[in-house]
Amino acid sequence: MTDVRLSKKPRYQAKCYFDFRMPDGDMENSVESHTSHLVLCRKEHKCWNCGAGISKYDHALAEKGFLDGKPVNCWTCLDCVDDYMDMMNGEIDTDEMQARWEARYNANNRDDL
């Protein structure tokens, strides 16, 4: 079974998250003036990748830029970012990364309330 817990603190050094870009399919080259950095959230956010809630005072990856001339931003939970970094470092394969992302997405987007 895949672990679906959410982390509170970064596993990698802060410099590893600076100007880091999560994969975003077709939009990857469309976002102009893209920046990203590790932040300590001042309010709650939702992870754009898995839909998990990112609590106030949790760390997250904040990405900002412009899409079609309009400002855009998103926050990604550290579990999703760290899974991607683990895959890039060869610690897990793409299938394991996808399985972890899907497990968190399914856990956070349940309709059985």
Is residue 57, in this structure, part of any structural domain at all? yes
Is the distance from CB of 40 to CB of 59 less than 8 angstroms?
A: yes
Is residue 1, in this structure, part of any structural domain at all? no
Q: Is the pLDDT of residue 28 over 70?
A: no
Is residue 8, in this structure, part of any structural domain at all? no
pLDDT in tens, 2-12: 444 455 677 77
Is residue 65, in this structure, part of any structural domain at all? yes
Show the domain range for 90.
14-108
Q: The tokens 């994969």 sit on which residue?
A: 23
The CATH number given to whatever domain includes residue 42 is: 3.30.1740
Count of domains for the chain: 1
pLDDT recorded at residue 77? 92
pTM equals: 0.75
The DSSP H or E segment spanning 101 is helix 94-108
Q: By three-state DSSP, how is residue 25 classified?
A: helix
Is residue 102, in this structure, part of any structural domain at all? yes
Q: Is the pLDDT of residue 23 over 70?
A: no
Is residue 35, in this structure, part of any structural domain at all? yes
Q: Mean pLDDT across the stretch 23-35? A: 64
- 102: which 2 tokens? 């899907």
Is residue 55, in this structure, part of any structural domain at all? yes
Interstrand relation of 53-54 and 59-67 (parallel, antiparallel or unpaired):
unpaired
What percentage of the chain reaches a pLDDT higher than 70? 78
Is residue 36, in this structure, part of any structural domain at all? yes
